[in-house]
Amino acid sequence: MKFSGFRVAKEALTGHKGWKPLWRNPEPQKSYDIVIVGGGGHGLATAYYLASRFGQSNIAVLEKNWLGSGNTGRNTTIIRSNYLLPGNQPFYEMSMKLWETQEQDLNFNTMVSQRSIINLAHTDGQRDAFRRRGNAMHLSGADGELLSRNDLRGLLPFLKFDNARFPIKGGLIQKRAGTARHDAVAWGYARAADIYGVDLIQGCEVTGLRRDKGRMVGVETSRGYIGAKKVGVAVAGSSSRVMAMAGIRLPIESHVLQAFVSEGLKPTLPGVITFGAGHFYVSQSDKGGLVFGGDIDGYNSYAQRGGLPVVEDVVEGGTALMPMIGRARLLRSWGGVVDMSMDGSPIIDRTEIDGLYFNGGWCYGGFKATPASGYAFAHLLATDRPHETAAAYRMDRFARGYIIDEKGAGAQPNLH
């Protein structure tokens, strides 16, 4: 079903009776060429690119709950490509470019809004680091500009500029960054994959990875055994649990990350703002709510809800940066289980088991990576070679010492 202005007008005049479900609800077949485990944005994008760009067919996505029920439907929707390191920057810039054409590509309104991101600097050293990061961004073709304190006063007059502990000294803006509607991203990829014949099977939990002589042959699921020549795992916070089914131990910890939304306000924030002296980031949704978040909860967990100490910490960061946020009432908060890798960067790689591939370790930031992650994982599954922009995301980089640690924070998940 094509979406168009004409179609919307026709449906409006005929009682909206012609709309069909966005995807089929098929029964699982006995076997597939490629099975993707996890119906989040990454799994769905992988299936879509496999079918649309790499000529693959006979593909299924297996999702234990409903499509987009994991972190894809729980995040604060920030998209950006303002990275420093050569292992990361070209990958996230490719993702940004795919965001820019996504709606036309999928024929679906994913509400990509390039409303900018501003990272605030509170020390001279931090401002110098932003200058360096901005230069690295330019080298891979991304945009970035340094803003002075005066520029910021004009753009964001409600910030607390003269906070004695955290004075605002300047910032780095990426104007092409912004937000996208997270659920719509899952729905858009699901619909487009379905059009290519991908089977999207919801309520189908993978409970075992079956191997024969060191090769994948299929998956055990809550809906029976399904054969597969290749299996790609993209389950974010459940990565350790699913990969343990094949005896693989990952350099990944699962932690809760919380998000918060205020009541709807008149347009206040022009784009995304991040506080550089603590962990706090905020934007305003199209409905008017302030959408914000901060640190992960500091203990390992698979629960999709967090604790009060982090709520307090996030609110402290928010009120130190923009005291007026204290006047807004909180409408909702929730948690997702994030896959924190030991260097803060992801893994997209084959495993030691023939036919088993892994995509995970997205930490705080996998939503913005959704298009590039799907594309690079599809490339790997189809060709058995890493995509050039994801060549650094190898499983063995921790053993080899080639870590991609943007913040130089070391193997401490809470610091990435």
Site for ligand FAD, rule CB under 6 A: 37-43, 62-65, 69-72, 74-78, 205-206, 234-238, 242, 257-259, 293, 336, 338, 362, 364-368
Q: Which is nearer to ligand FAD, 43 or 169 (CB)?
A: 43
Q: How far apart are CA 54 and CA 49, in angstroms?
A: 7
Distance of closest approach, residue 66 Cβ to ligand FAD, in angstroms: 8
Distances (CA, A) of 312 to 273, 301, 305: 19, 19, 15
Q: How far apart are CA 390 and CA 380, in angstroms?
A: 10
Distance of closest approach, residue 357 Cβ to ligand FAD, in angstroms: 13
Which residue has 């204290």 as its token pair?
Answer: 326
Q: Which is nearer to ligand FAD, 136 or 234 (CB)?
A: 234
Q: Which is nearer to ligand FAD, 74 or 394 (CB)?
A: 74
Distance of closest approach, residue 40 Cβ to ligand FAD, in angstroms: 2
Q: How far apart are CA 165 and CA 369, in angstroms?
A: 34
Distance of closest approach, residue 96 Cβ to ligand FAD, in angstroms: 11
Distance of closest approach, residue 125 Cβ to ligand FAD, in angstroms: 26
Distance of closest approach, residue 19 Cβ to ligand FAD, in angstroms: 25
Q: Which is nearer to ligand FAD, 149 or 415 (CB)?
A: 415
Cβ atoms of 188 and 108 closer than 8 Å: yes
Q: How far apart are CA 363 and CA 253, in angstroms?
A: 9
Handedness of CA 80, 242, 65, 53 (dihedral sign): positive
Residue in 369, 156, 180, 183 with CA at minimum distance from that of residue 274: 156
Residue in 228, 225, 221 with CA at minimum distance from that of residue 207: 221
Distances (CA, A) of 42 to 22, 232, 367: 18, 11, 8
What are phi and psi for residue 179, nearest 5 degrees? -140, 165
Distance of closest approach, residue 243 Cβ to ligand FAD, in angstroms: 10
- Tokens for 184? 């719509």
Terminal-residue alpha carbon distance, the chain: 42
- Tokens for 236? 């974010």
Q: Which is nearer to ligand FAD, 166 or 260 (CB)?
A: 260
Distance of closest approach, residue 213 Cβ to ligand FAD, in angstroms: 24
For residue 222, how many other CB atoms are within 10 A of its CB? 11
For residue 309, give the 3-state DSSP assignment: helix
Amino acid at 316: E
Residue in 389, 387, 369, 384 with CA at minimum distance from that of residue 56: 384
Distance of closest approach, residue 69 Cβ to ligand FAD, in angstroms: 5
What are phi and psi for residue 59, nearest 5 degrees? -120, 140
Distance of closest approach, residue 8 Cβ to ligand FAD, in angstroms: 29
- Tokens for 301? 């967990």
Q: Which is nearer to ligand FAD, 75 or 114 (CB)?
A: 75
Q: Which is nearer to ligand FAD, 40 or 171 (CB)?
A: 40
SS (H, E, C) 256-298: EEEEEEEEECCCCCCCEEEECCCCEEEEECCCCEEEEEEEEEE
Q: Which is nearer to ligand FAD, 42 or 397 (CB)?
A: 42
Q: Which is nearer to ligand FAD, 47 or 168 (CB)?
A: 47
Q: Which is nearer to ligand FAD, 51 or 314 (CB)?
A: 314
Distance of closest approach, residue 15 Cβ to ligand FAD, in angstroms: 34
- Tokens for 388? 């050039």
> CA triplet 71, 220, 183: central angle to 5 degrees?
20
Q: Which is nearer to ligand FAD, 322 or 338 (CB)?
A: 338
